[in-house]
Structure 1
Amino acid sequence: MTTTDSKQREIAEAYNSFSFTTDQEYQAGLQRILSSDAFNNKSDAEKENALRLSRVFYFNKVTGNSLTLEDALGFDSDLIRRTDQLHQTETGEEARTLTFAELKALIEQGKTDDIPNNKTIPNVLNEAPASESVGQIRKKPWET
C-alpha cells in the first residue's frame, strides 16, 4: 500500500467515524434537503446515494479533505464485507471484537441483533420487594 493509499484510507476512516447524527449544521442542511421534495419518486438506492453524497460533501467542507464518493462507497462496501465475514464464522469459533466503524455501521443499518454480546434490557422496574434496613441509625453530630 502506498502512502497515498494509506492517506486515503485514513481520510475514509475519519469520514466513517465522523458524527453526522450529532452535527447540528449537517442535520439542519439535511432537513432542508428532505423538506424540498428532492426524494420524491426516487428508489431507495438513489436516496441512499444522495444521502452519502451529502455526507461526503459536508465532510470535505468541514475537514478540508478531498474524499470522493467512490472512496466513501469503497470504504462502506469494505466495511459491510468485513462485517458479513464476521457473521459467517462458525458457531464454534470465538467471535472477535467489532471495531467502532463496524459497530456504527450495524447500528445505522438497524442490525443490532447481529452485534455480538448485545443484550436486550427490559423496560420494566424491578418487581422484587425492597430490602429492609438492618443497620443502626446514625446519630446526629449534636447527639453524640
Structure 2
Amino acid sequence: MTDTATATNPAEYLAFTLGREEYGIDIQKVSEIRNYENPTRLASAPDFVKGVINLRGTIVPIVDMRIRFALGTPEYGPFTVVIILNIGNRTVGMVVDAVSDVTTLAPEQIKPAPDLGSTLNTEHIVGLGTVDERMLILVDIDRMMSSEEMGLVERMAA
C-alpha cells in the first residue's frame, strides 16, 4: 500500500512552489521546514545537490528542486526554505521557493498524470490534485530520492 490517498481515505500533502507551479508531497515524509542556509558544497556532487548541512549532528544532503526539475536558475529569497524529509532510513533536505500550506485531498480529487510521451518524465509524479481552481503536481518523493540518478537514498524493498 502506498502513502498516498487510498480508495476511501484522504491524504495530506505539503504544498510548495517552484517557479509558477505548485507541487505537493506526502506530509508524512516531512520532518521539518527550515530557513534556507548555504550548505557546504561537496566536490564532484551533481549540480542539483547544493551540498550538505549539519542538522543536530546528522549530515544532510541538500537537493535544489529547481535545478533537479530544470526550472531555470534558482534565486534564494526570504521565502526560500529547506524541507527536511525522512525517506527510508535517510534524512534529505530539498530547497523550494516557498511552502504554502497542508492540503487534504480525497481520492476523487487526484487525477492520473497525463501521458506526455518522451516530452516530460512523469515517473516521479503520483498525479494531479485539484482543489477548486488550484492544481498540485503530486510528487512521489520516495521514488524520486531513491532513483538511480539521484543516488541519495538506497532503493527500498517493494
The TM-score range, normalised by the shorter chain, is: under 0.3
For normalisation by structure 1, the TM-score amounts to 0.27
For normalisation by structure 2, the TM-score amounts to 0.25
* Structure with the higher helix share, 1 or 2: 1
* Structure with the higher strand share, 1 or 2: 2
Question: Whose Rg is larger?
Answer: 1
